[in-house]
Structure 1
Amino acid sequence: MDLPGVPSSVLEALQGAARALGISRLALVGGVVRDQLLHQRYGRTWSGVPDLDWVVEGDAAALVEDLKRQVGSERITGVQEHGAFGTVAFQLDGLPLDLATARQENYPAPAQNPVVQAGTLEADLARRDFTVNAMAFDLVAGELIDLHHGLKDLESGELRFLHAGSVQDDPTRVIRAARYAARLGFHLAEESSKQIRCTIENWPWAWRQGDPAMAAPPALATRLRMELERLLEHEPWPQALNLLEKWQALPLLDPQLQNDPSRTQRLHWARRLGLPLMPTLLLGAADPVAVAQRLQIPGTQLQWLQQCGELRDWLVDTPPPLKAAPSIWSTAIEQQGWPPEVVALAVTLRPQQWKPLLRWWGRWRRIQAPQTARDLIAAGWQPGPAIGAELRRQRSAAQDCSR
């Protein structure tokens, strides 16, 4: 397999070490195989070499040690061993590589973390998410391994789950489907789309909406958040979220998010205001704080959502008149003690009072009194509360002049 940007000397060194140890299967796996085939056979743009993931039927750590003996420690750097199965990250001639012992897995319960044990290359490929990601190039044998007809799906531009229980076992695969479909321009196979709908309708997971947040299994909690973060931060998120809506998959987060007509507008506003997209997305949920707690989003963002709820209640109950002076709006907002991000989050919801909120966030809060306390003292003012009152008066006047 020709990999643009990967010197043949790297592949030859790996191949030589595997043969010296009598290892019969050393295979390149994952998205790099998919992307290389898309580039080589279908003319897709090659975006460069990411970390190269390899699976070995044997001891990964022993292979790296033998490789170091063969080629010298100057070519092998940054060796780090992780996990019970000796996953090893290292660099060969400066190129990042990840080497893992082949493994198989089973799920003790839907959406729980899988139980993993050593296995064959075939079993390792069978635990993956889509047929197009379950291909491998065996470096020892020099052949492509395609046990699940991934090449056929690459040609037709289809994403297809490997198993009938893929979504039940790991609902984060649904988010990955949206990520890959949006990035690659693929469509979801009909039986895979049906699997999503049927699984979510039947809800095979022990945890349900309304149950304690911390009782949610990992694939409906932290792992789901991690996939969403990748989608929102690194993928064409408008297309990906539209696909999740089309597949009726957003109830994985919250049923109300499935019908959220202001979602795209809200997220575009968040981009304009420099806000993270995750809390902005969750604002469309029936109980944003409960969903945020289940996903275990960062504590600061969780606090923003809590305070945004308070701000929304305040806008209903006791806000200044819509056309009140900037100083009145500024004083009212600042007395509540909300950070600017909370006000910006409220702006994305486009309440009736969104314009004064946006003006406070963008301009009014930055306006200061033209004089300082030191200036006033130099002009003859006596230190004390009167100075603070005068500075507030000056600031209010400056804000009101900024209309």
Structure 2
Amino acid sequence: MDVPGVPPALSAALVAAARAGGPAQRLALVGGAVRDLLLHRVHNDPWRGVPDLDLVADDSAIALVRRLEALLPPGSLRSAQEHGAYGTVEVELRIDGQTVLLDVATARRETYPQPGENPKVVPGVLADDLARRDFTINAIALDLASGELLDPHGGQADLQRRELRLLHPHSLRDDPSRLVRGARYAARLGFRLEPGSREQARRTLAAWPWAWHSGERPGQAPAALGTRLRMEFELLLLREPWPVALAILQEWGGLALLDARLQADRHWRRRLRWAQRSGLPLLVALVAGAADPLALAERLQLPHRQHRLLAQWLELRDRLAGLKAGAGNDAEPPSVAAWCGALEAPGGSPEAVLLALITGSGPRRPLLRWWLRWRHLQAPEAAADLIARGVRPGPALGAELRRLREVRLGQERP
């Protein structure tokens, strides 16, 4: 096994571990490493690097890891985290000064009791494991003992055509998050979704075969429309050229998996570019374009901090709308102090103001002025100076500091 960037000592140990298992216990390199190696060696694509190596063993994954540990230099194995439900082990190795990550899985078969739910997993053999994958180009394996390339689903022909072909007629019904993964591959590799798979995507999205529908309780959504979908979008936004990947997904109709309004949204590029420049989470900026951002955040199980940011932004959006409505058409525009009062209300955050700015949730000028200048203005006298002048510490001191700051804000142009 000769994969660029993989230490020779690890390659030799993997081959030795595979041969030690005998012909009845295959060990194979699968997935992205095999795909990218073929693209590099056969089709002259640039080597993209492999963040980790996916291995499938016919016998126990943890037994394979222990066998591999014995074949490597002492201390090479840094960690091995076992996930019993799926028969997988995440391994971190340190060899020749290089860190290598392995995902080792016991070969398995999967069935989906209900569309979009987590699959039921039972032990299988290598052929079963390849048959459960998403696209043909990811269902190619390299048998490490013999060096034989296994391609039971025609993945090499699709690599030649630079096409993404779903492995089964019901691939997307079982797990619609595979469509997001396809957009990731299309953006990274320059592939297109072959016509039959694109038709499957159209039918699946049009039929919406899942028991859960948009508008129902988010917590009842199946896993493929919740956590797995979030994980795929996080990878898309973190690892891929996301403007290309999201545009491809929208062209396929796939943003409807999140929300129908997002599928029709033409402003997500601007929001996400501003979020990227400002340090806001890209997924929050994307979700902000949904019809009900908080419901979508709950369905995707966004981290608490991101969910809270969306809630703060929505409350701020309502305050800004109320401030504008209260001013009326003929009234004086809100003062700088009034703007600051709305933007600095308890429970808010500067990040929520920034999100309001990039989503166009209020007048741009006062939001930008607050972000760049007004929020930094303080009372002309410090608390210690006021106390020295006889103002007693406590509520009276806070009130006087606020009054003096309002006087200073009154000198600013709205």
Query: TM-score of the superposition, structure 1-length normalised?
Result: 0.92
- How far apart are residue 336 of structure 1 and its match? 5.3
Tell me, in whole angstroms, the C-alpha distance in 1 between the residues paired with 2:100 and 2:345.
55
Tell me, in whole angstroms, the C-alpha distance in 1 between the residues paired with 2:183 and 2:14.
34
Which deviations, in whole Å up to 9, do the C-alpha atoms of 1:174-199 show, x marking residues without a partner?
A: 11011111122211111111111111
Identity of aligned residues (%): 51
- How far apart are residue 147 of structure 1 and its match? 1.4
Tell me, in whole angstroms, the C-alpha distance in 2 between the residues paired with 1:120 and 1:35.
24
Tell me, in whole angstroms, the C-alpha distance in 2 between the residues paired with 1:69 and 1:170.
38
Aligned partner letter, 1:221:
G
Aligned to 1:341: 351
Tell me, in whole angstroms, the C-alpha distance in 2 between the residues paired with 1:50 and 1:118.
27
SS in 1 for 2:82: strand
Which deviations, in whole Å up to 9, do the C-alpha atoms of 1:175-230 show, x marking residues without a partner?
A: 10111111222111111111111111111111111221111110011111111111
Aligned to 1:14: 14
Q: For the Cα contact (< 8 Å) 1:55–1:101, is it kept in 2?
A: yes
Tell me, in whole angstroms, the C-alpha distance in 2 between the residues paired with 1:69 and 1:304.
49
Q: For the Cα contact (< 8 Å) 2:321–2:362, is it kept in 1?
A: no
Alignment of 1:51 onto 2:39: no
- How far apart are residue 152 of structure 1 and its match? 1.6
SS in 2 for 1:311: helix
Which residues of 2 match residues 136-175 of structure 1 at below 5 A? 136-175=141-180
Q: For the Cα contact (< 8 Å) 1:131–1:150, is it kept in 2?
A: yes
User: Aligned pair in 2 of structure 1 residues 61, 325: CA closer, same or farther (>3 Å)?
Assistant: same
User: Aligned pair in 2 of structure 1 residues 290, 109: CA closer, same or farther (>3 Å)?
Assistant: same
Which residues of 2 match residues 342-361 of structure 1 at below 5 A? 342-361=352-371
Aligned to 2:31: 30
Aligned to 1:365: 375
For residue 381 of structure 1, the aligned residue among 383, 390, 402 is 390
**Once structures 1 and 2 are overlaid, which stretch shifts more, 6-15 or 259-268?**
6-15
Aligned to 2:278: 273
Tell me, in whole angstroms, the C-alpha distance in 1 between the residues paired with 2:13 and 2:345.
66
Tell me, in whole angstroms, the C-alpha distance in 2 between the residues paired with 1:232 and 1:71.
36
User: Aligned pair in 2 of structure 1 residues 14, 343: CA closer, same or farther (>3 Å)?
Assistant: same
Q: For the Cα contact (< 8 Å) 2:320–2:342, is it kept in 1?
A: no
Which deviations, in whole Å up to 9, do the C-alpha atoms of 1:117-155 show, x marking residues without a partner?
A: 111111101111111111111111111111112112212
Q: For the Cα contact (< 8 Å) 2:10–2:72, is it kept in 1?
A: no
Which deviations, in whole Å up to 9, do the C-alpha atoms of 1:226-267 show, x marking residues without a partner?
A: 111111222211111111211112221111111112221122
- How far apart are residue 278 of structure 1 and its match? 1.6
- How far apart are residue 86 of structure 1 and its match? 4.1
**Once structures 1 and 2 are overlaid, which stretch shifts more, 303-312 or 121-130?**
303-312
Tell me, in whole angstroms, the C-alpha distance in 2 between the residues paired with 1:68 and 1:336.
55
Tell me, in whole angstroms, the C-alpha distance in 2 between the residues paired with 1:213 and 1:71.
47
Which residues of 2 match residues 192-271 of structure 1 at below 5 A? 192-271=197-276
Aligned partner letter, 1:60:
A
Alignment of 1:297 onto 2:296: no
Aligned to 1:100: 105
Alignment of 1:88 onto 2:93: no
Which deviations, in whole Å up to 9, do the C-alpha atoms of 1:85-144 show, x marking residues without a partner?
A: 642333273533232211111111100001111111111011111111111111111111
Tell me, in whole angstroms, the C-alpha distance in 2 between the residues paired with 1:85 and 1:314.
48
Tell me, in whole angstroms, the C-alpha distance in 2 between the residues paired with 1:347 and 1:71.
54
Query: TM-score of the superposition, structure 2-length normalised?
Result: 0.90
Mark the runs of 5 or more structure 2 residues left unpaired by the alignment: none
- How far apart are residue 383 of structure 1 and its match? 1.9
User: Aligned pair in 2 of structure 1 residues 298, 77: CA closer, same or farther (>3 Å)?
Assistant: closer
- How far apart are residue 343 of structure 1 and its match? 1.6
Alignment of 1:135 onto 2:140: yes
- How far apart are residue 398 of structure 1 and its match? 4.1
**Once structures 1 and 2 are overlaid, which stretch shifts more, 232-241 or 322-331?**
322-331
Aligned partner letter, 1:261:
R
Aligned to 2:401: 391
Aligned to 1:116: 121
Aligned partner letter, 1:334:
E
Q: For the Cα contact (< 8 Å) 2:2–2:11, is it kept in 1?
A: no
SS in 2 for 1:223: helix
Tell me, in whole angstroms, the C-alpha distance in 2 between the residues paired with 1:65 and 1:99.
11
Tell me, in whole angstroms, the C-alpha distance in 2 between the residues paired with 1:382 and 1:71.
73
Mark the runs of 5 or more structure 1 residues left unpaired by the alignment: none
User: Aligned pair in 2 of structure 1 residues 5, 306: CA closer, same or farther (>3 Å)?
Assistant: closer
Q: For the Cα contact (< 8 Å) 1:10–1:92, is it kept in 2?
A: no
**Once structures 1 and 2 are overlaid, which stretch shifts more, 61-70 or 292-301?**
61-70
SS in 2 for 1:105: strand
